[in-house]
Structure 1
Amino acid sequence: MSEAALRPWNWEDPQELAATVDSFTEDLARVAKLEPLLAFETLDRGHFDQLGLTGIEFAAFKTNHPQALGTDLVSLTAEDGTTSQSRQVYRVDGASVFTELDITGPLPIADDTAGWVYAEHLIEHVTLRAGIAWLTEVKRVLRPGGLLRLTTPDLRVYCESYVNGDGFFGKHRRRMNRALTGVAPAMPARGAFMFNQLFYVYGHAWLYDREELTYALTTAGFAEDGITVRAYREGALPDVADLDQVLRNDETIYIEATA
């Protein structure tokens, strides 16, 4: 059992739980091997072509897309080193490609570099202002006609379930309990808890529905007529849509925008 699983887990104490989740994340960021591939000041299309990359997956220690650059704020750590925001691209465990980036600042990526960008359950962890600034950077680094696929918890789903008792809370709770077996106690079944945990338990900073996502995307420069709500694992680029994780599909809004 991991160190994180041995820490206290109290659903009703977000600050204590944050420390537990941080330890769990550190466990996930431990890898067997980091192989330096490329040092850079600014990644550009030439670097992507050199590495065989077509797009970027944010919030991914190990992307499952064979032509993606995975990136996260958290450093990957192996016995012989760490990524530590070194402007270095690594091969992780002989498979995926990774570099460490912070979405709250300018991305060290040239204009018109990536054919697509994917981010699952990331934007809700930063403020609205930071989220729009990051989306502006995403628009900049996408090639003309490039695709952004963005997923985040849908505030409307939570609100409607709390008011209407439509069964979503029970379904989501059972799914989370299965995922956290051996790590966390069962989530409380109270409706108010299920609603509040969306805001306070996971370090969320701003919640979205379709209207709020459209506002953020258009403010960042995406055209409204290029924004489309999608279903789980359905999208303009099937290989990118396949990155959606099943654990989150009951609570998630999936939205795509064309650069």
Structure 2
Amino acid sequence: MAEFSGELATCEALEQVADRLPHTAADFAALGLTGVEFAAFSTRHPGGLASDLAELRSPQLVSEFGRLYRVDGGSLFARLDVGRPLPFADRSVDWVYAEHLIEHIPLPVAVGWLREVRRILRPGGTLRLTTPDLAQYIEGYQDSRDGFFKRHRRRLKLMRVGPPMPERKAFMLNQIFYHYGHRWIYDEAELRHALTSAGFADRNIHRAGYQQGARADLAALDTTFRSDETIYLEAVA
């Protein structure tokens, strides 16, 4: 996984656009940005700022905190640490998207990050959050036909992601906790707990589906190879 992640953290061309990040809603608008995608070195959203904790490298340049970059002539990128206050003003963005990030940080850090996300969202702004669904893994373990685990092993093998997956149910259940740098695995109730602890109202949290949700532009960011194991939730500030 370290090798796989290292390959993702490289690009052909990295251009520094500014020596500071956008802060206010006006700053974001001036750059044509409407929201932030976390855990992404680039984003397919035309109004998205991609971000990741890890440094992004090109043959000529390595990204640094506090500076704004353009990746391969396309989307804008900034290094952000979700364990620290986000460097953006209150109500500065319309949306936030995070695919398979929250399981990589301890629960208290996750709640702190979600609290920051709620702070930077404008009223009515949307957070779309995806993560491995613990309920699917438990159901897969109990399934005598091994349906979910069989499909998941096949998908990971085709994508060449993760370690070899032996046909042992205990291994399949354990790997979602102990591989990939995961720190906390969620079902819907646990994800709702994290979101409500961060200040989102439970009535404003809704289950969504793969590439389906209240905002089609955010749902379109979902990637296919994770869809079989993923829970999708949207929360409105």
Pick the TM interval, shorter chain.
Answer: over 0.9
**Residues 8-45 of structure 1: CA deviation (Å, up to 9, x unaligned):** xxxxxxxxxxxxx2232122111111112222266221
Who is 1:168 aligned against? Answer: 148
TM-score (norm 1): 0.88
Q: Give the fraction of aligned pairs with identical amino acids, expressed as a percent.
A: 51
Q: How does 1:17-36 map to 2 (within 5 A)?
A: 21-36=1-16
Distance change (3 Å), C-alpha of 1:34 and 1:154? same
Who is 1:204 aligned against? Answer: 182
Residue 82 of structure 1: SS of its match in structure 2? coil
Task: Give 5+ residue unaligned stretches, structure 1.
Answer: 1-20
TM-aligned CA deviation for residue 193 of structure 1: 0.6
Q: How does 1:235-250 map to 2 (within 5 A)?
A: 235-250=213-228
Residue 140 of structure 1: SS of its match in structure 2? helix
1:84 is matched with which residue: 60, 64, 70? 64
TM-score (norm 2): 0.96
**Residues 159-192 of structure 1: CA deviation (Å, up to 9, x unaligned):** 0110123510000110000000xx7764111111
Alignment RMSD (CA, Å): 1.3
Who is 1:7 aligned against? Answer: none
| Conserved 8 A contact 2:99-2:130 | yes
| Conserved 8 A contact 2:162-2:180 | no
> Is 2:190 the partner of 1:190?
no
Distance in 2 (alpha carbons) for counterparts of 1:214 and 1:190: 31
Distance in 2 (alpha carbons) for counterparts of 1:184 and 1:121: 14
Who is 1:94 aligned against? Answer: 73
Distance in 1 (alpha carbons) for counterparts of 2:99 and 2:152: 17
Distance in 2 (alpha carbons) for counterparts of 1:46 and 1:29: 29
Distance in 2 (alpha carbons) for counterparts of 1:59 and 1:193: 26
**Residues 100-156 of structure 1: CA deviation (Å, up to 9, x unaligned):** 001011111111011000000000000000000000000000011000000000000
Give the 4+ runs in structure 1 shifted more than 6 A. none
Distance in 2 (alpha carbons) for counterparts of 1:26 and 1:248: 19
Residue 250 of structure 1: SS of its match in structure 2? helix
> Is 2:36 the partner of 1:56?
yes
Residue 77 of structure 1: SS of its match in structure 2? coil
Distance in 2 (alpha carbons) for counterparts of 1:84 and 1:154: 33
Who is 1:251 aligned against? Answer: 229
Task: Give 5+ residue unaligned stretches, structure 2.
Answer: none
2:128 is matched with which residue: 146, 149, 163? 149
Range that drifts further, 114-123 or 41-50: 41-50
Residue 144 of structure 1: SS of its match in structure 2? strand
Residue 228 of structure 2: SS of its match in structure 1? coil
Distance in 2 (alpha carbons) for counterparts of 1:59 and 1:111: 21
Distance in 1 (alpha carbons) for counterparts of 2:28 and 2:184: 32
Who is 2:104 aligned against? Answer: 125
Q: How many aligned positions are there? A: 236
**Residues 40-60 of structure 1: CA deviation (Å, up to 9, x unaligned):** 266221221111011110000
Distance in 2 (alpha carbons) for counterparts of 1:223 and 1:63: 28
